[in-house]
């Protein structure tokens, strides 16, 4: 399928052939007919991408701050690699489309193939022939509303939410500052609500449009008669409300709002403007109120609502994102809104670059609503797109999932050992980008394109945690060697299913427990290899705070016990050469809604050879302290691993300093692929992997019961 793409590193815009997006639970697959270019938002996005590295830094100081924090946490080299991966990426543009449902897995059974729908969402409702959109960001189009009109729905919902924040009443005087597409829609919505509307803009073309269509009396911000006209419009009382829909780098829209509002007036900020609130002379004395409107409405930035499909109760949250979208379409259907004057240009998707010449000012012509049109295609879109015809090596590798972690730590090493055949990700644009960057032969959005390819003998799985077991089982059935990032499974049922399926396999299965392969771990293991007595181990992990709505804490990630603590259990197994047999855990107990109790936990583990380990895992510490410290003692020796940047060995009343850096990512891949190539055993035994995985489940059981738990696979 065709999609408009921007290279974030170079800023280049082009239309390319990419695999169609995948369809999963709570998603709707849609064939686009039209999409709307949001000139203000997309101009900013495109401009950032076209800027130099220094220019990007100036425009996004928030990201510069993140980079500096990451340097302190992970070091310069790792940060450079991470930033390079982010920059060298392809970006989808667009977030407001209309089309026809091709297939749906929405949990309500609301959408059927053939339904006419409008869609919203950055990275979902993109400028592409087909899109896969979360169910709560899709609404049906009334019969008397065209696809062209429906493609405005996302912008309409944003404007409508701004109006709702203003809470207008019949006859109120309301000023709209910024008469771009969002401002024009806002004026129409206010007019439909019985308000007297005055519009202001720095562009005379937008002022003329508002006056021509009659949606508002409008004037140019630079007009010397502006303030007197505003005063006359309100009979000297001042405006009841001001809605700012402008995008401005200065504080002028806010300052002007304060000046023209009546006492106890309200400012609603919808656009991206500076907001330095001056207490005097107006804000304090007039007792003004400032409100921020969050995009399409309640649900925005809520993973549970937007990505997982959980709706808010109608009686308690009357206007959600989706219900705002529905209301906007109904206003068009009722004839309350007229969008035809706002549609100034329509381009076929193949000519999308010409549309952006308008947006970026390369072509001097008045525009406001620019639509991209998509053909009604009888041909079925493909999930697999060929990139090149590279020679196939003995190790022919497929990747399922290729996010920043896989691109930074897995793919560079895997590429050195074998041929990269097919990469599968949820979105075609990401799949195509990774395939091109690392030299895959094909890109895809369907794992079956790997499973059914008999030339692929080795599979890497680096998807979200709750999909690991599914892809492992498919790979076992397809008779592939498997490297899966942790965790292996999310619960005991999945683990048992894998154990049963793998019992008849002669292929290797390895989980990405990298720390045992770190140079400092290998050196310390050598030191304790000849000691026959049990080990005493203390592991402190200063993990850092992660919000409850982060994907790792949701159903997709399984939480930090299953998703991360498995690393430390595996490392203890590595040093003891013994299986865990009993575990007891306890965590903090707090009423704070921000903190997750089991993110702050102490775990005691007993091993079959008599060794014991204590893991203290905290999320409420300070970032300045290094993340990990591991102490091992036995046989009159003590060894310490300091954040995998080095360590010490204490013996014979002296200390040996170790300067061995790295967490073992490269070494684990090399060990695994070498074992596949040479026909050796897996670098981590399957029994050990299963015991590590089961131990995480037993930790959860121990927390729930308050009792120690036996570990028996």
pLDDT digits (tens, 9 = 90+) for 641-700: 999 999 999 999 999 999 999 999 999 999 999 999 999 999 999 999 999 999 999 999
Query: Are 697 and 551 in the same domain?
Result: yes
What pTM, to 2 d.p., does this model score? 0.86
Last residue of a domain, one of 318, 346, 373: 373
Q: Residue 377: what pLDDT?
A: 75
Query: Are 61 and 115 in the same domain?
Result: yes
- Per-residue confidence at 39, pLDDT binned at 50, 70, 90? confident
Query: Mean per-residue pLDDT for 124-139?
Result: 97
- Residue (of 72, 38, 68, 270) closest to 151 by Cα position: 38
Query: Are 13 and 128 in the same domain?
Result: yes
CB 694 within 8 A of CB 495: yes
Q: What CATH number corresponds to the domain at position 68? A: 3.90.180.10
Q: Residue 10: what pLDDT?
A: 80
Angle at 510 between CA 506 and CA 516, to 5 degrees: 140
Within-domain flag for 379? no
Within-domain flag for 170? yes
Query: Are 356 and 443 in the same domain?
Result: no
Residues of 382-421 as b/e, b for ≥16 C-beta within 10 angstroms?
bbbbebeeeeeeebbbbbbbbbebbbbbbbebbeebbbbb
Within-domain flag for 243? yes
* 449-494 per-position pLDDT tens digit: 999 999 999 999 999 999 999 999 999 999 999 999 999 999 999 9
Last residue of a domain, one of 325, 347, 373: 373
**Residue 564 DSSP SS3:** coil
Q: What are phi and psi of 450, to 5 degrees?
A: -90, -45
**Residue 440 DSSP SS3:** coil
Query: Are 457 and 550 in the same domain?
Result: no
Within-domain flag for 533? yes
Tell me how far CA of residue 535 lies from CA of 160, 541, 555, 584, 657, in angstroms. Answer: 64, 19, 36, 18, 21
* 151-208 per-position pLDDT tens digit: 999 999 999 999 999 999 999 999 999 999 999 999 999 999 999 999 999 999 999 9
Query: Are 546 and 675 in the same domain?
Result: yes
CB 650 within 8 A of CB 638: yes
CB 116 within 8 A of CB 138: no
Within-domain flag for 273? yes
- Residue (of 68, 93, 82, 81) closest to 11 by Cα position: 93
CA–CA gap between residue 570 and residue 689 (Å, rounded)? 8
Query: Are 674 and 585 in the same domain?
Result: yes
Both structure tokens of 266: 């309200």
Query: Are 338 and 396 in the same domain?
Result: no
Query: Are 135 and 229 in the same domain?
Result: no
Q: Residue 50: what pLDDT?
A: 54
**Residue range(s) defining the domain that contains residue 259:** 155-292
Within-domain flag for 378? no
Query: Are 648 and 542 in the same domain?
Result: yes
Within-domain flag for 440? yes
**SS3 assignment for 202-246:** CCHHHHHHHHHHCCCEEEECCCCCHHHHHHHHCCCCCEEEEEECC
Tell me how far CA of residue 451 lies from CA of 397, 481, 708, in angstroms. Answer: 11, 11, 41
Last residue of a domain, one of 487, 511, 535: 511
Within-domain flag for 431? yes
Total domains in the chain come to 4
On the question of pLDDT at 49 being above 60, the answer is no
Query: Are 547 and 427 in the same domain?
Result: no
Q: What CATH number corresponds to the domain at position 471? A: 3.40.50.720
**Residue 655 DSSP SS3:** strand
- Sign (positive or negative) of CA dihedral 155, 160, 161, 166: positive
Q: What CATH number corresponds to the domain at position 579? A: 3.30.360.10
Any bridge partners for residue 242, and if so which?
175, 267
CB 552 within 8 A of CB 471: no
Query: Are 215 and 314 in the same domain?
Result: no
How many C-beta atoms surround the C-beta of residue 654 within 10 A? Answer: 7
Tell me how far CA of residue 320 lies from CA of 137, 166, 370, 625, in angstroms. Answer: 10, 16, 27, 42
- Per-residue confidence at 71, pLDDT binned at 50, 70, 90? low
Indicate the range of 94-103, 365-374, 388-397, 481-490 predicted with least confidence: 388-397
């Amino acid at each position: 399928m065709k999609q408009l793409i921007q290279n974030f590193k170079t800023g280049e815009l082009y239309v390319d052939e990419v695999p169609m997006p995948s369809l999963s639970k709570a998603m709707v697959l849609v064939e686009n007919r039209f999409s709307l270019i949001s000139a203000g938002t997309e101009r900013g996005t495109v401009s950032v991408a076209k800027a130099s590295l220094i220019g990007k830094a100036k425009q996004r100081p928030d990201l510069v701050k993140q980079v500096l924090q990451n340097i302190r946490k992970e070091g310069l080299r790792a940060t450079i690699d991470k930033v390079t991966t982010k920059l060298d990426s392809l970006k989808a543009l667009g977030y407001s489309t209309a089309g026809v449902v091709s297939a749906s897995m929405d949990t309500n059974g609301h959408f059927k193939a053939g339904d006419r729908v409008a869609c919203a969402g950055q990275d979902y409702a993109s400028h592409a022939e087909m899109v896969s959109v979360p169910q709560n960001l899709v609404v049906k189009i009334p019969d008397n509303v065209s696809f062209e009109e429906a493609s405005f729905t996302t912008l309409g919902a944003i404007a409508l939410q701004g109006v709702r924040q203003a809470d207008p009443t019949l006859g109120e005087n309301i000023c709209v500052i910024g008469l771009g597409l969002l401002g024009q829609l806002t004026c129409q919505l206010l007019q439909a609500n019985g308000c007297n509307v005055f519009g202001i803009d720095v562009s005379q073309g937008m002022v003329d449009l508002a006056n021509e269509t009659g949606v508002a009396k409008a004037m140019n911000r630079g007009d010397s008669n502006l303030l007197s006209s505003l005063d006359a419009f309100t009979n000297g009382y001042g405006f009841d409300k001001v809605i700012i829909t402008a995008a401005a780098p200065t504080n002028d829209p806010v300052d002007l709002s304060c000046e023209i509002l009546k006492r106890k007036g309200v400012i609603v900020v919808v656009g991206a403007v500076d907001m330095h609130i001056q207490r005097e002379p107006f804000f304090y004395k007039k007792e003004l109120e400032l409100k921020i409107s969050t995009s399409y409405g309640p649900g925005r930035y809520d993973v549970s609502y937007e990505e997982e499909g959980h709706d808010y109760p109608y009686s308690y949250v009357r206007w959600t994102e989706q219900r705002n979208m529905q209301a906007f379409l109904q206003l068009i259907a009722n004839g309350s809104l007229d969008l035809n004057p706002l549609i100034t240009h329509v381009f076929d998707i193949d000519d999308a670059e010409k549309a952006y010449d308008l947006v970026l000012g390369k072509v001097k012509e008045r525009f406001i609503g620019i639509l991209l049109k998509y053909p009604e295609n009888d041909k079925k879109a493909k999930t697999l797109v060929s990139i090149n015809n590279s020679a196939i090596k003995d190790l022919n590798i497929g990747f399922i999932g290729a996010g920043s972690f896989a691109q930074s730590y897995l793919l560079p090493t895997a590429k050195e050992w074998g041929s990269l055949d097919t990469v599968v990700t949820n979105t075609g644009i990401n799949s195509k980008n990774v395939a091109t960057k690392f030299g895959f032969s094909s890109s895809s959005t369907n794992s079956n394109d790997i499973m059914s390819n008999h030339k692929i003998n080795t599979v890497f799985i680096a998807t979200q945690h709750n999909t690991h077991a599914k892809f492992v089982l498919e790979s076992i059935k397809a008779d592939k060697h498997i490297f899966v990032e942790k965790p292996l499974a999310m619960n005991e049922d999945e683990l048992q299913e894998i154990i049963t399926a793998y019992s008849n396999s002669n292929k290797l299965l390895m989980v990405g427990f990298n720390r045992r392969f770190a140079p400092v771990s290998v050196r310390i293991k050598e030191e304790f290899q000849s000691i026959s007595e049990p080990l005493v181990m203390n592991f402190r992990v200063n993990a850092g705070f992660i919000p409850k709505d982060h994907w790792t804490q949701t159903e997709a990630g399984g939480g930090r016990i299953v998703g991360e603590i498995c690393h430390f259990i595996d490392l203890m197994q590595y040093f003891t050469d013994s299986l865990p047999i009993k575990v007891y855990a306890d965590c903090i107990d707090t009423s704070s809604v921000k903190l997750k109790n089991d993110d702050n936990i102490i775990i005691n583990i007993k091993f079959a050879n008599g060794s014991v380990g204590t893991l203290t895992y905290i999320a409420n510490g300070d970032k300045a302290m290094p993340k990990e410290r591991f102490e091992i003692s036995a046989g009159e020796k003590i060894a310490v691993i300091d954040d995998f940047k080095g360590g010490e060995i204490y013996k014979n009343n002296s200390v040996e300093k170790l300067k061995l850096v790295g967490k073992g990512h490269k070494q684990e891949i090399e060990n695994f692929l070498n074992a596949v190539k040479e026909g050796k055993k897996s670098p981590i035994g399957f029994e050990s992997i299963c015991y590590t995985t089961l131990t995480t489940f037993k930790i959860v059981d121990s927390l729930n019961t308050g009792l120690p738990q036996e570990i028996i696979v």
